[in-house]
Amino acid sequence: MSDHTVKSYDDDLASLKQMLAEMGGLAEEQLAKAIDAITKRDTKLADRVIADDDRIDALEQQVEEKAILTIAKRQPMAQDLRQIIVAIRISADLERIGDLAKNTAKRTHAISEQMPRKLVSGLTRMGNLAQEQLKNILDAYAQNDAEKAIMVWRSDEDIDALYNSIFRELLTYMMEDPRMIGPCTHLLFGAKNMERIGDHTTNIAENIYFLVHGETIVEERPKKDSTSTTNYNLTT
């Protein structure tokens, strides 16, 4: 894409993209630390994740202000307009990803030292997968790569599939030992958070596609999350 005749317009768009890159980097870091904290039951690290969430929130606000100012000043058209609208949308998704990482880190406090380590391993695996998806989608955004975005979009079903198996696994533990119901419920929420992060990642993928092609993806996204219809009858 060639440059604008007015150079400062390019600077406006570049600085939006730069803010998004910074937000993405922070979200990735927060997610990695949250997974680490809950896996190792490191409450100090968890507290740091909780405190650092403010930085992502502040960046989201900056993106919004810059976007509104750029629209007002430049009256953007076509792909320039899409770039700004997409920046607003992606920053909202990244902000939510930050919130979900924070919420997962918070639960570190609720899981006791005595809880068997194997219980948390499923959540760790899911977290790693969500992290990888997030990294790939941020790369796709940085490179304006719609193909790569589609690949990430399609592979969200891997997270959904893992979520289903963790859901069943944790239900089984709870049935075996009622003392595990508390910690397992927290882990379930943690797993749900990772699944939601996967969904926000697919939102970002859809926005990258829109940014590049000017139209929305028409095909139906494969979904494998069946937990909302899974039931264990405890009386039998």
Partner 1 sequence: MDASPQKITLSNTPRILAARDTKIVARDVNVYYGEKHAIKHLSIDIPDRAVSAFIGPSGCGKSTFLRSINRMNDTIDGCRVTGDILVDGKNIYDRDLDVVQLRARVGMVFQKPNPFPKSIFENVAYGPRIHGIAKSKADLEEIVVGSLKKASLFEEVKDRLDHSGTSLSGGQQQRLCIARAIAVNPEIILMDEPCSALDPIASARIEELIDEIRQNYCIIIVTHSMQQAARVSQLTAFFHLGDLVEFGDTDEMFTTPKDKRTQDYITGRFG
Exactly one of 12, 53, 60, 80 binds partner 1 (CB under 8 A); which one? 80
- Quick check: 99 binds partner 1 (CB under 8 A)? no
Contacting residues for 235 by C-beta, under 8 A, at least 6 apart: none
CB of 179 to partner 1, least distance (A): 59
Exactly one of 30, 35, 49, 76 binds partner 1 (CB under 8 A); which one? 76
- Quick check: 75 binds partner 1 (CB under 8 A)? yes
Task: Answer yes or no: are the C-beta atoms of 96 and 167 closer than 8 Å.
Answer: no
Q: Could you give the CA distance from residue 79 to residue 69 in angstroms, rounded to a whole number?
A: 17
CB of 212 to partner 1, least distance (A): 11
Q: Could you give the CA distance from residue 69 to residue 66 in angstroms, rounded to a whole number?
A: 5
27, two tokens: 């979200």
Between residues 75 and 236, which has the closer beta carbon with respect to partner 1?
75
Q: Could you give the CA distance from residue 180 to residue 173 in angstroms, rounded to a whole number?
A: 7
Between residues 116 and 214, which has the closer beta carbon with respect to partner 1?
214
By CB neighbour count within 10 A (0-12 exposed, 13-18 middle, 19+ buried), where does 92 fall? middle
The structure tokens 């009386």 sit at 235
Q: Which stretch in 4-12, 93-101, 159-167, 176-184 sits in contact with partner 1 by CB under 8 A? A: 4-12
- Quick check: 3 binds partner 1 (CB under 8 A)? yes
CB of 213 to partner 1, least distance (A): 8
Side-chain-side CA neighbours of 103 within 13 Å: the count stands at 17
Exactly one of 113, 215, 219, 220 binds partner 1 (CB under 8 A); which one? 215
Q: Which stretch in 27-35, 77-85, 116-124, 142-150 sits in contact with partner 1 by CB under 8 A? A: 77-85
60, two tokens: 């989201």
- Quick check: 218 binds partner 1 (CB under 8 A)? no
- Quick check: 216 binds partner 1 (CB under 8 A)? no
- Quick check: 1 binds partner 1 (CB under 8 A)? yes
Exactly one of 214, 221, 226, 230 binds partner 1 (CB under 8 A); which one? 214
Other beta carbons less than 10 A from residue 233's beta carbon? 5
Q: Which stretch in 2-10, 20-28, 98-106, 147-155 sits in contact with partner 1 by CB under 8 A? A: 2-10
Q: Which of 157, 226, 236, 235 is nearest to 198 (CA)?
A: 157
Task: Answer yes or no: are the C-beta atoms of 83 and 207 closer than 8 Å.
Answer: no
Task: Answer yes or no: are the C-beta atoms of 97 and 27 closer than 8 Å.
Answer: yes
Exactly one of 81, 151, 161, 171 binds partner 1 (CB under 8 A); which one? 81
Footprint of partner 1 (CB under 8 A)? 1-6, 9, 74-81, 214-215
